[in-house]
């Protein structure tokens, strides 16, 4: 509630550019009538209207809708629904990317990798208790603990007395376990299990903190196991960073996009994963409130922010973000708050969404460059031809040596219509996306679409004029 998505810099810049060009050319064309009378040349209203149509940026104006529709279509092909074309455009202007660690940066299936017993206890003793506590745990982490104990110590076919009771994990206790035969075994977050063991009359064994911190610094998640008041040791749950994700973040950095990893892990684990994945920053022990604060801080610095979410508690942040991609498996509140919905519920898609937005802006920038360059050629085609009879000096600017003012105007108008039709396929297909900086993209646009936009009209307006002359069409 109260979230207000800002206009993108490109949206503002394009509006100013098109308005400025129209405002400049309108009085220029209007003043040609009195100028013509003063010089003794008759300039008809039809010619002036045709001249205005040719000089104002009608080409890019006509192609904007096609470019926007094509961007939304590319998202649909990736099973992402955008609520508006503006959302796709905002994705191209994103400067800060908030990415959940689990499932986006890492594979999301944490697996037990090692048993680290405390002083006075063996690895097998720890594995035995950890397996018992995990027999009813259907999560990938729980199943991996059972499998690791089997592989290391051949612990299998556990017989439990009828009075046994499994204790399910909850967000409040942050522990799970088993009560059986007078034993109470717990495994879970380090702080929670330590507190529970102390309440049972136990104490914190020497070296436990070092083991927990060592696992966390390695980028893994530490789970502490206790058998009643006795803490037996630590299980290392290792999550694997996705292959190629570091290179992808390097590309994002090259494009000027800052990546921030969002995780509920402790700062030590978050720092290790962030370094391995190559993200620019991280937010550890994240809550909905801290995510919202981070988004607002970035936006106050003038940056556009993109993020993903699926829960009701993510809804405020999704609404505040400039690009909020909600997962299809998420809550109704999350999907209503975001301006995009990923039907596959794959958080990694956020990177694809940004690339599609970048391609849309690159395509629009390229065709805008071409459109403005076109106006230069049209100027040299029409203006000198109109007044060369009165002012012979203008013949120097009449590079195309067109037959008459009528042929110049008619050829330019025909070219103006044909070039829009010719550029529609490129607008729909899009200019090929390359993960490069804005300076390199600008140089490429100026060289290909700027120079091409000047040369092309000279060639085709002259060609059209020759055909019209041959057909005696005026």
Element spanning 253, H or E: helix 245-254
Same domain? 249 vs 100: yes
The answer as to whether 391 is a domain residue is yes
Q: What is the C-alpha separation between 210 and 229, in angstroms, rounded? A: 20
Same domain? 98 vs 118: no
Q: What is the pLDDT of residues 44-83, one digit of tens each?
A: 777 778 778 877 888 888 888 888 889 889 999 999 998 8
Same domain? 370 vs 456: yes
From residue 434, alpha-carbon distances to 10, 97, 404, 427 in Å are 18, 18, 45, 17
pTM score? 0.70
Task: With cut-offs at 50, 70 and 90, classify the pLDDT of residue 204.
Answer: very high
Looking at the predicted structure, is the pLDDT value of residue 464 above 70? yes
From residue 454, alpha-carbon distances to 366, 369, 450, 457 in Å are 13, 10, 6, 6
Q: What is the pLDDT of residues 108-133, one digit of tens each?
A: 778 899 999 999 999 999 999 999 99
What DSSP string describes 111-169?
Answer: EEEEEEEPTT--HHHHHHHHHHHHTT--SHHHHHHHHHHHHHH--------TT-EEE--
The answer as to whether 439 is a domain residue is yes
Last residue of a domain, one of 195, 225, 240: 240
Decide: 200 and 184 in contact? Cβ < 8 Å: yes
Q: What is the pLDDT of residues 133-186, one digit of tens each?
A: 998 888 888 899 999 999 999 888 777 888 889 998 886 788 999 998 888 999
Q: What is the C-alpha separation between 377 and 395, in angstroms, rounded? A: 15
Same domain? 284 vs 187: no
Same domain? 228 vs 116: yes
* Residue 69, both tokens: 């529709």
Task: With cut-offs at 50, 70 and 90, classify the pLDDT of residue 453.
Answer: confident
Same domain? 62 vs 116: no
Q: What is the C-alpha separation between 381 and 372, in angstroms, rounded? A: 15
Same domain? 291 vs 325: yes
pLDDT at 187: 94
Which residues partner with 114 through β-bridges?
236
Q: What is the pLDDT of residues 277-289, one digit of tens each?
A: 899 999 988 888 8
| Local structure of 395: helix, strand or coil | helix
Same domain? 124 vs 183: yes
Last residue of a domain, one of 314, 343, 372: 343
How many other CB atoms are there within 10 angstroms of residue 162's CB atom? Answer: 5
* Residue 234, both tokens: 């630590």
Same domain? 99 vs 137: no
Task: With cut-offs at 50, 70 and 90, classify the pLDDT of residue 230.
Answer: very high
What CATH number is associated with residue 289?
3.40.50.1000
Question: Which structural domain, as residue segments, surrounds residue 141?
Answer: 109-240
Last residue of a domain, one of 288, 317, 343: 343
Q: What is the pLDDT of residues 393-410, one digit of tens each?
A: 777 777 777 767 777 778
The answer as to whether 221 is a domain residue is yes
Same domain? 115 vs 101: no
pLDDT at 424: 92
What CATH number is associated with residue 191?
3.40.1110.10
Q: What is the C-alpha separation between 391 and 395, in angstroms, rounded? A: 8
Higher pLDDT, 303 or 107: 303
pLDDT at 1: 40
Calculate the average pLDDT of the chain: 85
The answer as to whether 348 is a domain residue is no
pLDDT at 100: 84
The answer as to whether 79 is a domain residue is no
The answer as to whether 349 is a domain residue is no
pLDDT at 293: 92
Same domain? 52 vs 154: no
- Phi (first) and psi of residue 116, to 5 degrees: -120, 95
| Local structure of 234: helix, strand or coil | strand
Same domain? 113 vs 236: yes
The answer as to whether 331 is a domain residue is yes
Residue the block writes with tokens 């509920």: 264
pLDDT at 146: 92
The answer as to whether 336 is a domain residue is yes
Q: Among 31-35, 92-96, 367-371, 382-386, which is the least confidently predicted range? A: 382-386
Q: Rounded to the nearest 5 degrees, what angle is found at the Cα of 309, between the Cα atoms of 325 and 10?
A: 35
Q: What is the C-alpha separation between 93 and 5, in angstroms, rounded? A: 13
So which residues are the catalytic ones? 100
Task: With cut-offs at 50, 70 and 90, classify the pLDDT of residue 389.
Answer: low
Tally of structural domains, the chain? 3
Element spanning 415, H or E: helix 405-429
Task: With cut-offs at 50, 70 and 90, classify the pLDDT of residue 473.
Answer: low
Task: With cut-offs at 50, 70 and 90, classify the pLDDT of residue 2.
Answer: very low
């Amino acid at each position: 509630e109260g979230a207000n998505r800002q206009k993108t810099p490109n949206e503002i810049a394009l509006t100013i550019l098109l308005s400025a060009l129209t405002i400049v050319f309108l009085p220029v064309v209007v003043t040609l009538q009195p100028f013509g009378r003063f010089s003794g040349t008759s300039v008809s209203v039809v010619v002036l209207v045709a001249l205005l149509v040719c000089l104002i940026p009608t080409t890019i104006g006509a192609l904007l809708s096609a470019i926007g529709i094509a961007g939304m279509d590319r998202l649909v092909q990736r099973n992402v629904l955008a609520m508006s074309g503006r959302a796709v455009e905002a994705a191209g202007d994103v400067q800060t990317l908030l990415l959940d660690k689990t499932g986006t940066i890492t594979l999301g299936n944490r697996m037990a990798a090692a048993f680290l017993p405390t002083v006075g206890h063996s690895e097998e003793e720890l594995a035995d208790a950890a397996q018992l506590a995990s027999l009813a745990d259907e999560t990938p982490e729980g199943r991996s603990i059972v499998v690791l104990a089997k592989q290391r110590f051949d612990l299998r076919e556990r017989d439990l007395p009828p009075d046994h009771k499994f204790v399910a994990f909850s967000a409040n206790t942050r522990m799970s376990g088993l009560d059986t035969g007078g034993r109470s075994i717990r495994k879970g977050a380090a702080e929670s299990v330590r507190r529970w063991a102390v309440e049972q009359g136990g104490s914190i064994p020497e070296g436990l903190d070092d083991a927990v911190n060592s696992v966390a610094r390695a980028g893994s998640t530490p789970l502490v196991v206790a058998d009643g008041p006795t803490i037996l040791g630590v299980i290392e749950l290792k999550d694997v960073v996705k292959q190629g994700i570091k290179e992808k973040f390097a590309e994002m950095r090259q494009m000027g996009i800052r990546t921030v990893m969002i995780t509920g892990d402790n700062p030590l684990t978050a720092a290790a994963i962030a370094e391995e994945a190559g993200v620019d920053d991280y937010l550890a022990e994240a809550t909905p409130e801290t995510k919202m604060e981070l988004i607002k801080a970035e936006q106050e610095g003038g940056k556009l922010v993109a993020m993903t979410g699926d829960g009701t508690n993510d809804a405020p942040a999704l609404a505040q973000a400039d690009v909020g991609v909600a997962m299809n498996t998420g809550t109704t509140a999350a999907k209503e708050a975001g301006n995009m919905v990923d039907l596959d519920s794959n958080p990694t898609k956020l990177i694809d969404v940004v690339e599609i937005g970048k391609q849309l802006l690159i395509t629009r920038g390229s065709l805008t460059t071409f459109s403005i360059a076109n106006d230069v050629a049209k100027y040299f085609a029409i203006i000198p031809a109109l007044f060369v009879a009165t002012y012979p000096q203008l013949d120097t600017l009449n590079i195309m040596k067109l037959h008459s003012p009528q042929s110049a105007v008619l050829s330019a108008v025909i070219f103006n219509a044909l070039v829009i039709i010719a550029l529609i396929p490129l607008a729909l297909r899009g200019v090929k996306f390359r993960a490069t900086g804005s300076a390199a993209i600008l140089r490429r646009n100026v060289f290909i679409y700027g120079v091409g936009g000047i040369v092309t009209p000279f060639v085709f307006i002259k060609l059209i004029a020759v055909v019209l002359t041959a057909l005696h069409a005026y």
